Structure 1
Amino acid sequence: MEDTHTEYLVSRLATIRDRLEAGMDRREFLRTLVTGGYALGVAQFLGVDDFLAADDGEVPIVTALVRSDPDDPWSLEERTRYVPTSWYASVTKAFELNDLLARTAFTGYLGSAVVPGSYDRGTASVSVGISSGLDSFRDTFDGLVDDVSLDIETIVDIDGIEDGHEGFEPRFIDSASSGDIPSGIACETPGSIATLGPVLYDPDTRQEFFVTAEHAFEDGADPDSDRLSLPVDGADTVELGAVERAHPVEDIVAVTPGNQFRPSNTIDTPSPARVRGQLTRLGLADLIARGEDLEKVGAMTGHTTGTIQGIDAVTCFTDEFCRRGQIRWGGEMDLTDGDSGSVSYHNDPEGADEDVLVAGFNNARTWWPGQSYVWGIGAYKLTETYGYHF
């Protein structure tokens, strides 16, 4: 079986990206794409002129989907950036290797994540967690692609989930009289407290949803009966709306607003923050390459910042299934019970001072020794899977 897996990996990794080398003439690069029948991630978004406009040794990538009109959620435009060809080739090959590791699903595999290097280095690695020492693992998978290394770590004692950190009080909204409810404050399910996320849009139906973590609903959210409520400081709890869609694998729930309140694209932070769009997978890779952090506002721990530790991650720690398209960032102290449903974000460098771009949701944290990060599904993965966007 191992030989079969190896042959499959080698054949899959012998793609057009293996022929994409630093310094390749951009016209040759474009011809290679066309004659090879491939469409790299950027090829589906960008035209020939964009490729030919790049300097030698650079290619354009789509880093974000941003609203051209802040008041029009359907006016999304692609934000692009030129990056070194060598870096792009390494990162995309790392994405492929990470995907193949997840698909192979060998015994003892607990998850993996892509860690892009800096632009100067032009490399990338795949961090892999396993439950037991596998002597043949590195021999099987390592060295399959140039400039992509494997960082293998044995993870033990993951069965017992610790209780949340103590000493935090939930952040309730002061007043719900305005009608527009910001994110980053506490919301309430029939069984627990969670954090309300910013408005989630469905372009197919033109609906706007309240959103939070699905696991905050005991035994899973039921679209036929469950409701999401809003605790108000010093006042009675009010109902936000009914659960319309539950996505347990992605760990999100979409709630249809009732007649009284609407979801907002503002985040309840000390400094004003307005969601203007979202980061793509390559946009997250770009942030890592430039050493940029993410931020979040949770109902319990409030505002924190942290380093991005891995993207396009696969996590197989908590359920019988694996969760894909995850982001690993920050540390375990950045999330506690009640913070689930919050979003990680980064400032929009081309927007107004208050504009931010959503990276993804925060749904869980590490509880085992040796690793410390928050994880949750990337916004790009929700868009790919369901069409939702921020």
Structure 2
Amino acid sequence: MERLVHRLTTLRTRLESGMDRREFLRTVATSGYAVGVAHLLGVEDFLGVDDGEVPIVTALVRDDPDDPSSLRERTRSVSAEWYAAVEKAFELNELLARVGFTGYLGSAVVPGNYDSATASVSIGVSSEGQSIPEMIEEFADGVSIDTEGIIRLERMEDGPDFTEPRLMERLPDGDVPSGFACETPSSVATLAPALYHPNANGPLFATAEHAFKSMSTLDGETLGLPIGSGETLELGTVVQSHPIEDVAVVEPNGGVLPSSRIVAPSVARVRGQYTKYGLADLIARDEELEKVGALTGHTTGQIQGIDAVTCFTDDFCRRGQIRWGGEMDLTDGDSGSVSYHPDPEGEDGDVLIAGFNNARTWWPGQSYVWGVSAYRLTEQHGYHF
């Protein structure tokens, strides 16, 4: 079995590096592979695109904008050389997270553009100047490694000047859109767009788990929607909390339901979410992400890293993170907002979710917002937008 896995891996590597159809078929025939092994390699898709390209799944998108169960995979063809470089970077990043050498504080994959067909891994190490283990550098196999020393700070530095949170002006007539302030028993956060789960009866509210920071347990805690008139509408109670992903899921109490709309400068409609390779594709094409927070409002920024591991703040590491924008794009009260990007194949105003916004850097030398990717929340817990 191990020999078969090794042979499959070797063949896949050759496929990803640009093996053409004729060479692939000849290799399969002369290597004794059964015809059925093709599905393990995704070869049917490979044979359906131009030489030197491979298909990737970039997003999960609703066929029917109003039916969250109509999700389908969207694919596009990309350079096999670029794909191989990014895949190696993902593997190296996973190895770093597993090894967790002394001084390791986190890392992220940074795909290059399609012309360069490269990818790098940015590694954060403690300021004591720990070196990268030799076995990591050997495994890199051509993937560029950028190492940055980080000073651990106990206290968050001052963020943007405090402003009044963005409140709904009146009681909602129907579903509640995201981008407005929501209220926990201990703080204010930003309401996310509707989340869905196969086992749920309908849409779910969501916001940042750490907004309930003074609670010993979140189950049964309420989430409210403050209204500009001074009222607070109870949205529902927490039914699931995920501290590592920093997401609290709230079941509606029957009064109002969450919406898949984001009230930005113009109203955006959530049509689905990006995959890991969809985010890599955005970086390769130099695309930006957007967000609407209850305090800082609408901002945009470049994606700085994906599939990131973050070990700066707790006694555990968070995986599947996105780094984007700058530290001024988020402040207290913006947590729970989502990062998103226009759907390139959707109608005007359609967007795809990249992930949640949970925190920002507060140490010298780095500046970005981080949060869990939508694909990670789907993989780990089954939720989707």
1:190 aligns with 2:188: no
Partner of 1:248: 243
2:311 corresponds to which residue?
A: 316
How far apart are residue 207 of structure 1 and its match?
3.4
Aligned partners of 2:90 and 2:307 also within 8 Å = yes
The corresponding residue for 2:374 is 379
TM-score w.r.t. the length of structure 2 is 0.91
State whether residues 215 and 221 of structure 1, in contact with CA within 8 Å, keep that contact through their aligned partners in structure 2.
Answer: no
Q: Is residue 173 from structure 1 mapped to residue 163 from structure 2 by the alignment? A: no
The equivalent residue for 1:368 is 363
Residues 254-273 of structure 1 deviation map (CA, whole Å, 9 limit, x = unaligned):
00001111000000111120
Partner of 2:3: none
Match of 2:198 in 1: 203
2:262 to 258, 267, 274: 267
1:293 to 278, 288, 297: 288
1:7-39 CA-partner distances (Å, limit 9, x unpaired):
xxxx9xx86654445331146558769959999
Deviation, structure 1 residue 191: 0.5
Residue 93 in structure 1 maps to residue 88 in structure 2 = yes
In structure 2, C-alpha distance between the alignment counterparts of 1:312 and 1:38, rounded to whole Å: 32
Q: What is aligned with 2:329? A: 334
Aligned-residue offset at 1:177:
3.3
Q: Deviations over 1:167-222 (max 9, x none)?
A: 32200011223121000110000000000000000023343210000000023573
| Cα distance in 2 for residues equivalent to 1:83 and 1:300 | 38
**Cross-structure match for 1:227:** 222
Structure 2 residue runs without a partner (length 5+): 1-5
2:68 is the alignment partner of 1:73: yes
Q: Distance in 2 between matches of 1:171 and 1:230?
A: 11
* Inter-partner Cα distance in structure 1 for 2:354 and 2:36: 27
Select which of 340, 343, 349 maps to 1:345.
340
Share of identical aligned residues, percent?
64
| 1:74 shift after superposition | 0.1
**Distance between the aligned counterparts of 1:36 and 1:130, measured in 2?**
46
CA 1:49–1:135: 2 relative to 1, 3 Å: closer
- Please list, as runs of the form range in 1=range in 2, the aligned pairs for 1:209-220 lying within 5 A after superposition: 209-220=204-215
Instruction: Tell me which residue corresponds to 1:131.
Output: 126
Q: Which amino acid in the other structure matches residue 291 of structure 1?
A: D
Amino acid at match of 1:197: A
Specify the code of the residue in structure 2 equivalent to 1:312: D
Q: Is the 8 A contact 1:343 1:359 kept in 2?
A: yes
Report the CA distance shift for 1:145/1:29 in structure 2 as closer, same or farther (over 3 A).
farther
Shift of 1:53: 1.4
Using the alignment, how far apart are the partners of 1:325 and 1:224 within structure 2?
A: 25
Aligned-pair RMSD on alpha carbons? Answer: 2.5
> How high is the TM-score relative to the length of structure 1?
0.90
CA distance in 2, matches of 1:59, 1:34: 23
In structure 2, the partner of 1:155 is: 150
Q: Does the 8 A contact of 2:220 with 2:239 survive in 1?
A: no
Partner Cα distance (2:34, 2:284) in 1: 29
Judge which range, 315-324 or 230-239, deviates more: 230-239
Q: CA deviation at 1:52?
A: 1.1
Change (3 A) 1:170 1:322: same
Structure 1's unaligned 5+ residue stretches are 1-10
Q: How many residues align?
A: 375
How many Å separate the matches in 2 of 1:325 and 1:70?
26
> 1:134-177 CA deviation, whole Å, 9 max, x = no partner?
56416442243444110001101332222442232200011223
User: 1:357 matched to which residue of 2?
Assistant: 352
Structure 1 residues 47 and 87, CA gap change in structure 2 (3 angstroms): closer
Say if 2:80 is the partner of 1:56. Answer: no
Work out whether residues 226 and 233 of structure 2, in 8 Å CA contact, stay in contact via their aligned partners in 1.
yes
Shift of 1:120: 0.5
In structure 2, the residue matched to 1:142 is 137
Q: 1:51 to 1:175 in 2, by over 3 A?
A: same
Residue 303 of structure 1 corresponds to 298
Label 1:167 to 1:232 Cα distance change in 2 as closer, same or farther (>3 A).
Answer: same
- Whole-Å Cα distance in 2 between the matches of residues 234 and 158 of structure 1? 40
Equivalent-residue separation in structure 1 for 2:150 and 2:214 (angstroms): 28
Which whole-Å CA distance do the structure 1 matches of 2:215 and 2:153 have between them? 22
Change over 3 Å in CA distance of 1:246–1:55 after alignment to 2: same
- The aligned residue for residue 231 of structure 2 is 236
CA distance in 2, matches of 1:34, 1:198: 51
Contact 2:304 2:325 in 1 (8 A): yes
